[in-house]
Every structure is written in structure tokens, then in C-alpha cells.
Amino acid sequence: MNQEYDAIVIGAGIIGTCTAYQLSRSGYKTLCVDKLPASGYGSTSGSCAIIRPYYSTVEGSALAYESHFYWQAWSAYLGVEDEKGNVSYNNCGCMVMKTRENGYLQPAIEIMETIGCPYEELSAEEVQRRLPLLNMNSYSPAKLPEHPDFGKPNGGTLTGAVFFPAGGYISDPQLSAHNVQRAAESIGVEFKFNAAVTNIHTKNGAVSGVTLNADKKIVANIIVNVAGPHSSIINEMAGVSSDMNISTRALRHEVAHLPAPDGYDFETSGCVVSDNDTADYLRPEVGNHILVGSEDPPCDEKQWVNPDNFDRSFSNHWNTLAMRAAQRITDLKIPNQAKGVVDLYDVTEDWIPIYDKSSLRGFYMACGSSGNQFKNAPVAGEMMAQLICECERGRDHDADPVHFYLKNIGYSLNLGFFSRNRKVNADSSFSVLG
Ligand SMILES: Cc1cc2nc3c(=O)[nH]c(=O)nc-3n(C[C@H](O)[C@H](O)[C@H](O)COP(=O)(O)OP(=O)(O)OC[C@H]3O[C@@H](n4cnc5c(N)ncnc54)[C@H](O)[C@@H]3O)c2cc1C
């Protein structure tokens, strides 16, 4: 006999688990399926899990600032204690370097004023007082190691930074998805792992269910695509891609894991650093290590890949990331053995996610997270649940977009901002910064 649910969420990453949790809180009998053996094993497990409020748009920043409060009250959000322990939020803050390219952060400051998010402007001396391991030489524009001027200061110095206290990082991104799985199960959500969606069924112009592992049919009138870097495959399966102005693609990314310089306790006294000048971002990691990711400078070739067939070993890019970090961090030692993460972003044309319905009745999507939506997952889950409830009650979200109230910061967010049919947003950074 076919099993029946009100809603099926495809994907048990951090956004999928949060969506399933909130759908159940809205009264839907919900199943969350994942082709991997456990929650959070997809791109969520590779996440740097940085929490930060600065994006290039008011809407993106408002969503991210709101999310900070959810992570601060994580155990209350969950309502249960995971037997593996609940993750912790290291609220160490984020320091963003001012550069000519980012307008010395004046646009970001204006956005922070608009949404009421705290920030502090720091001079170059104050930056170095807080983080003495950094030097303030300028190296921009970012280059590849083959370039004759790679690693050479350009003669200028950075003028300072902005510090955002509403930021930091989550101790263990994969565990955070497991935490939400446990919270969701406590209110009736069912999970099926090793369960790949291989077909999406429709009836009378609406979704009617999925087939798992080319074998078992499950019936539901609501299906949500939260398949991360596989989202375009699921949208194709549902036949909704041709109705979308914004698409999603899997982009390979590497993160380097490096020891902090000898004698400097970056784990305790460090913070997140976003450095547009060297095109790296940094964050503290346990064992007094530093995670180093890329801010996607134009000189770095983008590696668009098939999410089912990509190289998980480190490339020369790992060395590039590490050497760029060594430009900013005095005395950084680069080990011979590469350590870190190779994983996928699910990227849209404007690096802004899609949280939306589709042209197929009952089929929704939370995808295109573009390497920057881990932090927003708990709020995204609530936004998706409200959007789905209102659409199922007959609202035409395309013509009359749902607004979601960000209760902690007192801001009404127009969910039309995340529409699959939006024009490419010209205000975007067109990078992982969103
Ligand atoms: C290297 C890296 C660093 C990042 N750093 C940050 C950061 O610092 N801060 C931040 O906010 N964001 C960051 N991100 C982005 C963030 O991690 C993602 O936006 C987020 O984890 C996406 O969650 P998700 O649930 O949408 O996707 P995923 O975690 O990828 O989950 C999707 C799930 O769908 C499943 N699936 C796919 N196809 C099928 C199918 N056919 N049937 C069943 N299941 C299927 C997959 O197995 C997978 O588990 C980073 C991402 C990467 C890769």
C-alpha cells in the first residue's frame, strides 16, 4: 500500500530539516527523505557555518540578522536536547576589512542603519590591537600564484574595518541538522534515509507524490525541493525549470584548514574575518586552527560540476587560499599536507537563494543557497512553512507576495525578493557574500 503524507521534504540538510520541522508545527503530516544515510551529510556537513549580518541587500541582511537570534536561542528553538548534544554558537563577531572595492563598507553601514543592526568602525590600529596577527598591507586585486606580483604588497595599506558583534560560527554544522531532525521527530516528522527521490508524480496539474529508489511510491500533495546542489535535478524531475527566470548550478569549492601561528590563540581570541583585499575569509576552528575560504575573486575560475560526479580531492586552489591567508596573517605556516573541505555550493545567477512556489501546484523550493544560507536555515524553515500554508489556502504568491515578519528585528520581509522569477538582482555582490 502507498504511504501517505501531507508534505514531503526532499533533503535533510540544515534547510530541509528546518523546513520539515516548521511544516509539522503548521499541522502538516510531514516526511523528510534523503538519499544519504543521515541528516546533514550533504553540503551542510562541509559548511563553515559562519553567522554574519552583512549582505549586499537590505532583505538579505535583515534575514541574516534575524537568524542570529535563532542561533542564540538554539535550545529554545529546538525544544529538545539531542542525545548527541546541541550545537553551540560561538558569538565571537565578524570583522570586515574596508576596501575601495567594497566602498569602504559605506553601503553595508547604510543597510545596518536601516535594519538596526549594531556595528563598530575600527581604524587600522584598532584592527591590529584586536587581532595582532594581522598585518594591514594591501595586496589587491587578488591574483593567482602564477602572477608575477602574487604575494607582493601593492604599496598601500588598509584603512580599517567594521566589526559586527551579531556574528560568529556554529560549532558543528552537520550536528545542527541532526539537532533539528530530533526536534522535528519529537513533533511527529518522519525521516527516511538512503531514500533517493527518483520520480515526482503529478495528477491534474498538481504534485501527487514521489518514488523512492525507483521502487516505492509515497503519496503527498505538497513537495518541497531542498536538495541543495542537486536542486536543479529535482526541479527538472518536477518539470518546473522552464518557468524559472533564476536557475541553480553546483559549484565546487575548497576550504583550507590551517594551524594558527605559533604562540597566538586564534581559537579563543580570534573572530570571523572577511578580507576583500586578499579575497579570503577566515574563522577560528577548534584545536587553534583557522578555516580559510574564498570570496570568489574574478581571477579564480569557477568550477561548475555535476553534483554526482566531482573531484573531492584538493587542487592547487587549496594552496592559493592558504597563500592568500599568509598575506594577511603574519607568520602563518602552511603545512605540506592539505586539510580542509571540498564541497558544493548551489548557486543562482545573483547568489541570492530561491524560497518560492513553482508553476506546479503543490511543488515548492528552498534552493540556490549559494554558499551563504546555512545561517538562515531556521528562519528559512519558518518562511517556507508560512509561504506554503498561504499558497495552499489559495494565495497567488507570484502576484501578491507573502510577507514574513522577522519578529526579533521588527522587519516585514517581502518573500517576493526570493522569487524564482525575479530579475537578476544587480545589487548583489555576485559572490558568496550574497
Ligand atoms: C564549503 C562550504 C562553506 C560554506 N560556508 C557557509 C558559511 O560559512 N555560512 C553560511 O551561512 N553558509 C555556508 N555555506 C552554505 C551552506 O552550507 C548551505 O547553504 C546549506 O548547508 C544548504 O543546506 P541545504 O539543506 O539546502 O542543502 P544540503 O545540506 O546540501 O542538503 C541537501 C540534501 O538533499 C539530498 N538530496 C539530493 N538529491 C536527493 C534526492 N534525489 N533524493 C533524496 N535526497 C536528495 C542530499 O543528499 C542532501 O543531504 C557553505 C557551503 C559550503 C559547501
Tens digits of residue pLDDT in 316-333: 999 999 999 999 999 999
| Sequence letter at residue 402 | V
pLDDT in tens, 26-80: 999 999 999 999 999 999 999 999 999 999 999 999 999 999 999 999 999 999 9
Tell me the CA–centroid distance for residue 44 and ligand 1, in Å.
4
Per-residue model confidence (pLDDT) at position 2: 66
Closest C-alpha to 346, from 310, 371, 379: 371
Tell me the CA–centroid distance for residue 239 and ligand 1, in Å.
22
Three-class DSSP labels, 343-408: EEEEECCCCCCEEECCCCECEEEEECCCCCCCCCHHHHHHHHHHHHHHHHCCCCCCCCCCEEEECC
- Distance from C-alpha of 284 to C-alpha of 357, rounded to nearest angstrom: 38
Looking at the CA of residue 376, tell me the nearest atom of ligand 1.
11
Average pLDDT, the chain: 97
pLDDT in tens, 243-269: 999 999 999 999 999 999 999 999 999
Tell me the CA–centroid distance for residue 43 and ligand 1, in Å.
3
Q: Is the CB of 16 under 6 A from ligand 1?
A: yes
Q: Is the CB of 174 under 6 A from ligand 1?
A: no
Tell me the CA–centroid distance for residue 343 and ligand 1, in Å.
9
Tell me the CA–centroid distance for residue 235 and ligand 1, in Å.
16
Architecture of domain 91-168+251-345: 2-Layer Sandwich (3.30)
Tell me the CA–centroid distance for residue 42 and ligand 1, in Å.
5
Closest C-alpha to 74, from 355, 411, 379, 387: 379
Q: Is the CB of 372 under 6 A from ligand 1?
A: yes
Other CB atoms within 10 A of residue 268 CB:
9
Q: Is the CB of 341 under 6 A from ligand 1?
A: yes
Nearest CA to ligand 1 atom 26: 228
Tell me the CA–centroid distance for residue 228 and ligand 1, in Å.
5
Q: In 239-315, which ranges are continuous DSSP H helix? A: 266-269
pLDDT in tens, 69-115: 999 999 999 999 999 999 999 999 999 999 999 999 999 999 999 99
DSSP character at residue 213: T
3-84+172-248+350-418 is classed CATH 3.50.50.60: yes
Nearest CA to ligand 1 atom 52: 47
Nearest CA to ligand 1 atom 49: 42
Looking at the CA of residue 281, tell me the nearest atom of ligand 1.
8
Looking at the CA of residue 375, tell me the nearest atom of ligand 1.
11
Domain extent listing, the chain: 3-84+172-248+350-418, 91-168+251-345
Other CB atoms within 10 A of residue 279 CB:
25
Tell me the CA–centroid distance for residue 12 and ligand 1, in Å.
9
Tell me the CA–centroid distance for residue 229 and ligand 1, in Å.
7
Per-residue model confidence (pLDDT) at position 370: 97
Q: Is the CB of 378 under 6 A from ligand 1?
A: no
Q: Is the CB of 170 under 6 A from ligand 1?
A: no
- Which residues touch 399 (CB under 8 Å, ≥6 apart)? none
* Chain length of the chain: 434
Per-residue model confidence (pLDDT) at position 77: 98
Other CB atoms within 10 A of residue 408 CB:
14
Q: Are 360 and 220 in contact (CB under 8 A)?
A: no
Per-residue model confidence (pLDDT) at position 3: 76
Whether the predicted pLDDT of 235 surpasses 70: yes
Q: Are 412 and 382 in contact (CB under 8 A)?
A: no
pTM of the predicted structure, to 2 decimals: 0.98
Q: Is the CB of 374 under 6 A from ligand 1?
A: yes
